Chains A and B, each alone.
Chain A
Amino acid sequence: MATSLNGHACAEIVARAQALFDDLSFGAARQWKAASPERKVIGYMPIYVPREIIHAAGFLPLGILGGGDQLEVIHGDAYYQSYICRIPRSTIELGVSGRLDFVDGMLFPSICDVIRNLSGMWKMMFPKVYVRYFDVPQNYRDDIGGNYYVNELAELRHDLEQLGGRPVSDEQLCDSIAVYNENRRLVRDLYALRIQAPWQAPATEVYLVLRAGLVLPVEEHSAMIRDYLAGAAKQERPRRDNCRVVLTGVFCEQPPLNLIKSLELAGCYVVDDDLLLITRWLTADVSTEGDPLRNLALAFLHQSESTAAKYEPNLKEKGQHLVRAVRRSAAEGVIFACPSFCDPALLERPMLQHVLKDADVPYIAFKYAENSGQMQPIREQAGTFSDSIKLWSGR
């Protein structure tokens, strides 16, 4: 009886997350904003923005990750050549079709030249919206990159104060940091559960639950993860003879949900990934004592994920985060899934592959677009990879 109740709870949570995922008009965020005239919504794109500052200003941070495979892109294609990835064109589609007409500000983080230039396009196309290109340091010394970043954070705080018409105190910032610390702890727990028992927390479910956090208030999202964890741990699900893989390259333009499902159906348990990195970008709790902006800056410099958009100053350390992810999650292989025309993922890929080769970790690679429809080739490739690991790797 308990099992079925927990299973029911899990299914409900996933259904809610799926509904949020499917809603390209961002109804939940609209509803949140409509509750009070003082509320504002700040959109952001991958990979990372300090959501704590937006939260402290009393605003809702809203993750914008393109239009997925359910959005028909009509206007967006008129802005881009065929050799540009899909996420900016579907994001523009969301904008010009009015789906983001309730969004008061947009942050475009430093990830690649396409998103960078999109920040300027947004300024031109939506002049009434607050738009900021959010730069982060590529120098990780406290007194160089750290000072620069503290000042950038202060500018963002100032801009949001102007937008909201009220100051954002250090105390509010520390409180918001604490709220996000809790959320990140829960996300880490979720990933730990999947490592421990991936059959209990399938990759598609974990993805949907995480993705809900990009449109919901963080407190509500933390409650959702907590409920999911409680349900998933107790639910009995069949354990399959799948191989365990780390999925990488998926940090910006999102793969279709079907792609993640296809990997699982092809015999791969995804036990770690770089999907939705913002939910666990900072890898440890941020201090809530002292200067909150300095604390956020130090966390970025010294306790943040490695990814292609960040410079790695140490040659020996290059790609080791991926090897560590493989070891930590007891993965047997790595799947490189990169969006077509994605400079960060595709330029990084050969270096990561060399590191994996040296570490004797098998891998495969393919490309996708957020609207890729044909999964059969991917399923076959992943299935063959899984079989080869099971049959020949001797692991």
Chain B
Amino acid sequence: MTIITTPKLAPAKEVEKDASMVKQKEMMAAHYDRLTGAPETGEKVASTFVPGNLNELIMCFDLVNNLPEVNAIQNGLRKQSGAYVLEAEKIGHSEDVCTYVKSDIGMMAKGNIAPNGKKFPNPDVLLLSYTGCFTFMKWFELLREQYKCETIMLHTPYMGDGKITKNMIEYMVKQLKDDVIPTLERISGVKFDIDRLREYLKKSVVAEDDLVRVLQSAKKKPSPIDAYFGGIYYIGPIFGAFRGTDDAIEYYRFLLEEVEDRLGQGKGPVTPDGDMGKEKYRLVVEGPPNYTNFRQFWKMFYDEGAVVVASSYTKVGGVYDLGFRHDPDKPLETLAEYCLGVYTNRSLPMRIDMLANYVKEYEADGLLINSIKSCNSFSAGQLLIMREVEKRTGKPGAFIESDLVDPRYFSAANIKNRLESYFQMIEQKRAGARSAA
């Protein structure tokens, strides 16, 4: 009998935290305290999704933003999601469907405890921003069944033809004006003030500008950031409950300063084990990460000198690096355009263009796809994406599989083997190019 054991990770070295890290930690803690304290403070809670997250609008009604995807991620990182997924399956949810949903449903069944150890409040409204993911619709129908609360559908049409049409914008603006906003007014008891929305949107732009500078710093060699594993931390505030706030502006200012400092010193990214060693491989990554073994997964990259210079996952809550910024002069239209443009709402050919351009612009060695069992929105079609990007760039692609928050689908040995083979392939490709020259 062969017994396969997973080696335990050595305890992380004590890494001095940058100001941005401290700031983000404080922001998250304060947010969860505000959220779990809502029953006492009387604040009302709106649950919504990261893609199509209308944080500026939600703030106009003094609502606290709760993001079930982020809660599932937190549960994954804290090794709690496995039990929650099993709990959901036990009460009748299929083993085949999204584990974010099951983690959320399982968490509810087991007391709905937030990362700060306090109970999540029941939402007052489910703002179903139906953007780029079919599962979102069913997820909130499932939550509505539990919470029996009001649910607002905001339907974002899919960019199947690779363009945003006038009809799409008008449809979304009409939904916002005649359905979403009046319902939020009624639930919150706060009258909508479009100038207040404009002010939040102005703040969003400042943070968006700085985020793009941070992400594009990875064009330099060595890259001062990891745009996937590190990138997940960088997008936290702007994809979550902080877009449009002073906190987000401050966070991204700190972050940009730190990244520019690293650039000046010729340093690579910060990892959980401190500064990364020599940059050997530059990758573009498509697809979400695994969260149940996040550090172990990341370590497989930085131990080999592999840095991710661009990723699609860091665009699920907004594609800012291709030019989009919230426009305070067209407050509702800009929200519509934002929702329409998020990565998972883009057609497959658009995604291929984007990834192939990343490989070229960031001078990457190739495209790595982490295909997620849970997420058909990302995963269906990824094998074609890989082949097409390989064809267009002449760089090798690779394919690994895992899951978001279900630990049963993280096979460390398989992933490590594939990554090592991939790095060897890149080396061979380089050697071939050298000998041809």
Contacts and interface: CB of A to CB of B under 8 A. Distances in A.
Contacts of B128: 311
A340 B380 contact: no
Contacts of A147: 170-171, 174
B379 A132 contact: no
Interface residues of B, number: 55
A144 B171 contact: yes
Nearest to A150: B167
Contacts, number: 165
B133 A113 contact: yes
- Give the interface centre of B174, B381, B384 by most chain A CB atoms within 10 Å: B381
Interface string B212-253: 000000000000000000000000000000000000000000
What is the predominant secondary structure among interface residues of chain B facing chain A? helix
Interface string B149-186: 00101010110110001011011001100110000000
Contacts of B167: 148, 151-152, 155
A318 B151 CA distance: 13
A163 interface: no
Contacts of A135: 157-158, 160
Contacts of A78: 383
A340 B376 CA distance: 13
Nearest to A315: B144
Interface residues of A, number: 59
A348 interface: yes
- Give the interface centre of A88, A110, A350, A353 by most chain B CB atoms within 10 Å: A350
Interface in A120-137: 120-121, 123-125, 132-133, 135, 137
Interface in B355-400: 371, 373, 376-377, 379-384, 388
Contacts of A116: 134, 158, 160, 377, 380
Contacts of A341: 96, 376
Interface stretch (B2-10, B36-44, B345-353, B428-436): B345-353
Nearest to A348: B138
A-B pairs with the 10 shortest C-beta distances?
A120-B348, A133-B160, A347-B138, A148-B171, A138-B155, A346-B94, A117-B381, A113-B377, A151-B167, A113-B376
Interface of B: 91-94, 96-98, 101, 128, 130, 133-135, 137-139, 141-142, 144-145, 148, 151, 153, 155, 157-158, 160-161, 165, 167-168, 170-171, 174-175, 178-179, 347-352, 371, 373, 376-377, 379-384, 388, 401
Interface of A: 78-81, 83-84, 88, 108, 110-114, 116-121, 123-125, 132-133, 135, 137-139, 141, 143-145, 147-148, 151-152, 155, 308-309, 311-313, 315, 318, 338, 340-344, 346-351, 353-354, 367
